[in-house]
Structure 1
Amino acid sequence: MEILQTAFMQRALLAAVLVGITAPAIGIYLVQRRQALMGDGIGHVALTGVGLGFLLSTSPVWMATLVSVLGAVTMELIRAYGRTRGDIALAMLFYGGMSGGVLLINLAPNGSNANLSSYLFGSLSTVSPTDVITISVLAAFVVLVTVGLRRQLFAISQDEEFARVTGLPVRTFNLLIAVTAAVTVTVAMRVVGLLLVSALMVVPVAAAQQITRSFAVTFVLSVAIGTAVTLAGTITSYYQDVPPGATIVLLAIGLFVVLTVAATPLARRRARALKSAEAEAEVEARTAEAAVPAARRLADDIAVRH
């Protein structure tokens, strides 16, 4: 195939697969915790790390990882202890991260608007061999956490109080989820872009939830959807010369719409079956209630005769 004959597309496709796996893998826990927009906030903060990378002439990806991890930990602490002013502090963190990143990139000697755009919206041609190695290492960490600790993370995402009662270190795992989300943002930024990475964490999970009922099946299907749309979006971007990040997200949203429409008749059948089962249970309960007085009368008659 022509697309596999160019080195930069080989790197881009490999990065796309890793992004497609890791983003929904951590995204499912964020969706369960009702923190779907956390990735968007981390993406804003990560831009400051990219700017620092350019300014200090170091790896923007590793610097973005460091800054986004610090930002994610700060967000989690604000969420836990911020009380009524927490939303204001988070907003300042998000906007400050974005503004700081734009300023630092423009101050850097090798920074430019082109560099800024590639990190905001993704760019296939800028995925270097070093980026592939970095993304692979970070993706391995994300998979190790999201799969290896899936039972603990699921318990905490469903009910923190119950998880705390069972003896799980809830605060530690909350911080781990935040750090893993931050690492995922830096994994995905070269392909999807910092402004769109949150969509890839959330939309495949939401699409999978339309046709699944269990957590395990939703996890597997959302990863499959994420991988499929990132590969399809990357290939489309190559042949049609369109931005990869926007293409990937639009494909994910399109698949979400298709699955939602397809799942509607199934949901109606499930609702009718549930109503029918409830009606049958109610009839059986009433029959049982009516049978009790009759049984008592029969027992009384027998007692009187004897």
Structure 2
Amino acid sequence: MIMEFLEPAFMQRALIAAVLVGITAPAVGIFLVQRRQALMGDGIGHVAMTGVGLGFLLNSSPVWMATLVAVAGAVLMELIRTYGRTRGDLALALLFYGGMAGGVMLIQVGGGSNANLLSYLFGSLSTVSDEDVTAIGILAAFVILVTIGLRRQLFAVSQDEAYARVTGLPVRALNLLIAVTAAVTVTVAMRVVGLLLVSALMVVPVAAAQQLSRSFRATFILSVVIGTAVTLTGTITTYYQDLPPGSLIVLLAIGVFIVLTALSAPLARRRARAAAAEAGADGCDAQVPLTRRPTDDVTV
């Protein structure tokens, strides 16, 4: 007998969207974490709000309009990061807050309601339409193709831009591609977790995976598994309990991070003792670090 939560059409759409978000958000987030740009998704989310408002104002798809505006904003953010040496922080602040304020204003002018605003800010699985699922599917396919097909190049430029440039990689183009892919991911996730919480889903599963994994490949795979697990669990739970889906999904991800952090502590100590014993057996006096960044292993 089919499970009850699979019967309603809105839940079928919500589960499809949740799986796609659970895969794409950590897949992009791992590169942002490596580049120490964990909050980039939050900034793009602010800018994407203007796209949502334009969608209401022009009576077009808010998802596609948000994608266009978010991509433009992400490219501008990357250019400011690269060339805005002196007043870059101020320019980014104006972009972020202007994007959010403009989006709220345009939604009201375009005839939207506070309910519409909240559904995009914090997610609303029950309002995901067939059109939204189609758009999310197309955008998610782009993200997956980029993050898997170009993972070696993206890892190289995220790890060390100078080295990547010396090896002949098109660093500027790859940086812009990461920014564009992050923008697309934000619009993919906004119907599930909301624009204000999407950055957490891009970062927290990656941080949780890093507690156990020691290579880029393992971190990538484990973070996607965690992201998919928490989005599905959160979506199914909201069917039975009247809870906000975006907030629940993010809290579940944080809970996984806390659990894996607690589990990783004794493992790290055991590895350190084993490494120290091996070094002692080889007659080495050098100290062995207690932890190691997962992405230090360049196996991709």
TM-score by length of 2: 0.93
| Structure 2 residue aligned with 1:66 | 68
Equivalent-residue separation in structure 1 for 2:244 and 2:186 (angstroms): 18
Equivalent-residue separation in structure 1 for 2:267 and 2:285 (angstroms): 27
Equivalent-residue separation in structure 2 for 1:209 and 1:11 (angstroms): 31
State percent identity of aligned pairs.
78
Q: CA deviation at 1:269?
A: 0.8
What letter corresponds to residue 190 of structure 1 in structure 2?
R
Secondary structure of the residue aligned to 2:86 is: helix
| Structure 1 residue aligned with 2:292 | none
| Structure 2 residue aligned with 1:130 | 131
| Structure 2 residue aligned with 1:301 | none
* 1:226 corresponds to 2:227: yes
| Structure 2 residue aligned with 1:91 | 93
Which structure would you say has the larger Rg? 1
Looking at secondary structure, tell me which structure has more helix per residue: 1
Equivalent-residue separation in structure 1 for 2:250 and 2:274 (angstroms): 35
Unaligned runs of 5+ in 1: 286-306
Q: CA deviation at 1:282?
A: 3.4
Unaligned runs of 5+ in 2: 287-300
* 1:104 corresponds to 2:106: yes
Residue in structure 2 matching 1:50, options 49, 52, 56:
52
What letter corresponds to residue 272 of structure 1 in structure 2?
R
| Structure 1 residue aligned with 2:5 | 3
Q: CA deviation at 1:172?
A: 0.1
| Structure 1 residue aligned with 2:215 | 214
Secondary structure of the residue aligned to 1:34 is: coil
Listed one character per residue, the Cα deviations across residues 192-237 of structure 1 (whole Å, up to 9, x for unaligned) are 1000000000000000000000100110010000000000000111
Comparing 173-182 and 275-284, the one that deviates more? 275-284
Q: CA deviation at 1:272?
A: 1.5
* 1:278 corresponds to 2:283: no
Cα distance change, pair 283–54 in 1 and its aligned pair in 2 (3 A) = closer
Listed one character per residue, the Cα deviations across residues 141-184 of structure 1 (whole Å, up to 9, x for unaligned) are 00000000000001111100000000000000000000000000
What letter corresponds to residue 262 of structure 1 in structure 2?
L
TM-score by length of 1: 0.91
- Please show how residues 279-294 of structure 1 align to structure 2 within 5 Å: 279-282=280-283
Equivalent-residue separation in structure 1 for 2:60 and 2:277 (angstroms): 64
- Asked if 1 retains the 8 angstrom alpha-carbon contact of 2:279 and 2:285, the reply is no
Q: CA deviation at 1:283?
A: 5.5
Equivalent-residue separation in structure 2 for 1:53 and 1:200 (angstroms): 24
